[in-house]
Chains A and B, each alone.
Chain A
Amino acid sequence: MSNWQLICKLDDIPQLGARVVRRPSGGDIAVFRTSDDKVFALHDKCPHKGGPLSQGIVHGRRVTCPLHGWNIGLDDGRAVAPDVGSCAGFKVKVEGGEVFLAP
């Protein structure tokens, strides 16, 4: 059962950028927007050393962690080889220009 919450307008997230969603507990979620306006949500914590992925450079379907440059796949949360690791993903959708997250 999904518990969709409206978090912001699509235009509140820059293309090839991200916003941070703060939860009361459980850690921040990073919500990314790609150049073709697809939206993805990941735990805002790099599997390497916990860097905030929301602050990374977004390219294609990936984000580069700002701390040590690991590349993480936006759709599966997995580190791009040869690095190994993954972070949790969350359900997110865009309807009528608004972004909904199921945290």
Chain B
Amino acid sequence: MSKPRLVLIGNGMAGVRTIEELLKIKPGHYDITIFGAEPHPNYNRILLSPVLAGEMQVKDIVLNELDWYRDNDIALHTGKTVVKIDRAGRKVISDDGGEEYYDRLLIATGSTPFMLPIPGNDLPGVIGYRDIKDTDEMIDAATRHRHAVVIGGGLLGLEAANGLKLRGMDVTVVHLGPWLLERQLDEVAGQMLQKSLEDKGLKFLLQKQTEMLVQGESGRVAAVRFKDGMQVPADLVVMAAGIRPNYALAEKSGIYCNRGIVVNDTMQTYDPKIYAVGECVSHRGIAYGLVAPLFEQAKVAANHLAGYGIGRYTGSVTSTKLKVTGIDLFSAGDYMGGEGTEEIILNDPCGGVYKKLVIKENKLVGGVMYGDTADGPWYFQLLKDGRDIHDIRDSLIFGQNLVGDVGHAGNNKAAAMADSAEVCGCNGVTKGSIVRAIKEQGLFTLDEVKRHTKAASSCGSCAGLVEQILASTIGGAYTPAASDSKPMCACTEHSHDKVRKLIVEEHLTTKEAVFSELGWTTPNGCEKCRPAINYYLISSWPNDASDDPQSRFINERAHANIQKDGTYSVVPRMWGGLTTPSELRAIADAAEKYKVPTVKVTGGQRIDLLGVRKEDLPAMWADLNAAGMVSGHAYGKSIRTVKTCVGAEHCRFGTQRSMDMGVKLEKMLFDMYSPHKVKLAVSGCPRNCAEAGIKDVGVIGVDSGYELYIGGNGGIKTEVAQFLCKVRSDEEVMEYSGAFLQLYREEGWYLERTCHYLERVGLDYVKGKILEDDDGRRALHARLLDSLKDARDPWATSREPGAIKQFIPIAVAVDA
């Protein structure tokens, strides 16, 4: 049986991206044919500006080599323009007379530069700026001519002007608007931009209307004349006054068009067999000219072409970044403001920094940044997430650093970093190697950069910095998804949020049910989604779902921490950091008996025995169990420790019995499974010797009771815990902190620490659940206790038959 045939018209970024997405989710479903009018394989059009500026070569910007088409059995026709779509006969006809039948047709014909309708617009030396051919022509003109005029002071025009200037031409930018980039910038930022471009040697003529292009003796264009009679010399005229969706072919074929090929939210045209994506499309009345929305469209179109029918494209909020080396400019969303909006502005003309944030109903709706764009991606994420910002409003304009430290030795300005600067401290990845990978491999997302460079793939603390580098390298092509819609992993389209909600709503209790209900593309997930799903199942349905050890990371399967040489570390629990001579003796005995090479005191007030062989673990645990000790869970996404100070039991300053309180909390939470590790501390007075300010839950004793703090973190992202409330009794400490942790267990995404959870939902939300809803708080606490009622020491259960097998290697007698 032959496969259905899919024909793509337009071998550009949007169309080929759709094919890539399709091959990812349903490989081999179609016989695919691609027509491209240009003689090249698919290349990264966004990077034509760096090519023009001499920073890159054409070969660097090819996204899909010819091998890719061959490897995927795609018939590619380059240099062939489709001239007719015969919808009745379901075939397309190209300019060489060739015909190709289709069952599904995808139109991605892109856009064409708008050529001003003025006399002389067809003279030699007058071009648009769209493709490799135009770029080559500009490079060629720069070697033989002197004067260039760029008509249009938008993103493309300025990038063209900058490139031509770098190639030695004398460049004038003509612009009809009152300031540059008036569609991306407000007036102040526009003028700052003009000043810096003038410093680079560009000339500007604003509010000038072009009347005609004057022909010289050679027949080539020689000058530009304006309506006011002024004339400037021009051997090259680049029209960058906008683009027009290229929909003539579709319209001629009777497909409904209205300033673009009209599509619905599934990217389908009025002909159900025909889909369209990219710049040629009009979706809800908007034709997008930036690449990020096109990728979102590609994903949706691919899903429908694959027959899955999931996903709607509902429009995009876009951001732009000017790709002119040395100029930092970022804008996103509704940056002009208007009725019902407020603005926060930081203006430092001497320092060359200008930032404007536009806020509507406590949400960020737009922003412009000039000179310092380091926080652009962060603002953009806040904007897309629709996060209520009123609690961080007072420091918002100063950027993410003021809201929370991200470390990295103050290296937060990606654009200013040297290529040799180390970005990822875990894997030793420099900025230069990230930029190279982005350009050479054609990477567009943080995940792709992680996979190819390993940057941000270990502790993840440099992810923000890597995103900035991505944004500054590919400009407007970079769009992070809203946090709550980022797919969990490559196995699914669903986000953590969605998966968890469906597990609760549909009462799913096994991973197999999740995979089949939610349409997983892999038979049994991957190392990223399986642990997360296992957690969601158990935390949502503690009495119905059972743990799947094979979905747990080895540390949680072996109840010990794997070390670089494959040995393990053993940490017995010391409740509240308290121990006894007999416990210490048992630990010492175990350390000697099992020849533990390293004994170390941990930051969580207990003792770590490092370098234990896996097969020795059960026996060692049996010895420690016999001495009354249990697992310290130093290896799990679970309760780790409750650190305490000496407190009122001994300390002359102590106001509360902090050790006692710590032990009670630790016993309440024993064996608690959570999205990520959880650490607590209890201090007996505000001197806070237990460092409660950097714990997930920090308790500080005061004379009248306890202060509770939440969401602190002393690790990757140093984050000071936020004050939640003050309570009087030990019982209240247990109830309030237990309720908060249960809220986090029910709503936190897997591998999200409390500080990140809190940053996502906001402190006010948590206060609403814990402080303002007494019944809700008690119910949360009760659910926590219910899920922990059968808690058992994993060290004890690991010796049961079945569980112990994993610790015993199988011996064979013969060598290889």
Contact = CB atoms under 8 A, between A and B. Distances in A.
A52 B805 contact: no
A66 B805 contact: no
B554 A60 contact: no
B526 A22 contact: no
Interface string A1-44: 00101011000101111011111111010010001100000000
Contacts of A68: 458
B451 interface: yes
Interface residues of B, number: 33
Nearest to B563: A67
A12 B451 CA distance: 34
B522 A21 contact: no
B810 A24 contact: no
B530 interface: yes
Contact of A28 (B452, B557, B558, B809): B809
B525 A66 contact: no
B813 A59 contact: no
Interface string B545-568: 000011111100110001010100
Given A35-B524, A59-B524, A24 B813 contact: yes
Contacts of B811: 21-22
B698 interface: no
A57 to B, nearest CB: 4
B814 A7 contact: no
B530 to A, nearest CB: 6
Q: In this complex, which of A50, A52, A55 has the most chain B Cβ atoms within 10 angstroms of its Cβ? A: A55
A68 B532 CA distance: 18
Interface in A45-75: 49-52, 55-60, 62, 64, 66-69, 71
A55 B814 contact: no
B418 interface: no
B341 interface: no
A96 interface: no
A31 B554 CA distance: 16
Q: In this complex, which of B558, B812, B815 has the most chain A Cβ atoms within 10 angstroms of its Cβ? A: B812
Contacts of B523: 35-36, 60
Q: In this complex, which of B452, B550, B553, B805 has the most chain A Cβ atoms within 10 angstroms of its Cβ? A: B550
Contact of A25 (B458, B550, B554, B815): B815
A44 B749 CA distance: 32
A22 B566 contact: no
A67 B522 CA distance: 23
Interface of A: 3, 5, 7-8, 12, 14-17, 19-26, 28, 31, 35-36, 49-52, 55-60, 62, 64, 66-69, 71, 82, 90, 101, 103
28 contacts: A12-B805, A16-B524, A17-B806, A20-B809, A20-B810, A21-B809, A21-B812, A22-B810, A23-B814, A24-B813, A24-B815, A35-B523, A35-B524, A55-B557, A55-B562, A55-B566, A56-B527, A56-B554, A57-B530, A57-B550, A57-B551, A59-B526, A60-B526, A64-B527, A68-B458, A69-B527, A71-B527, A103-B814
Given A8-B810, A19-B810, A66-B562, 10 more contacts: A15-B550, A19-B805, A20-B809, A21-B812, A22-B809, A22-B810, A25-B815, A58-B550, A59-B526, A66-B553
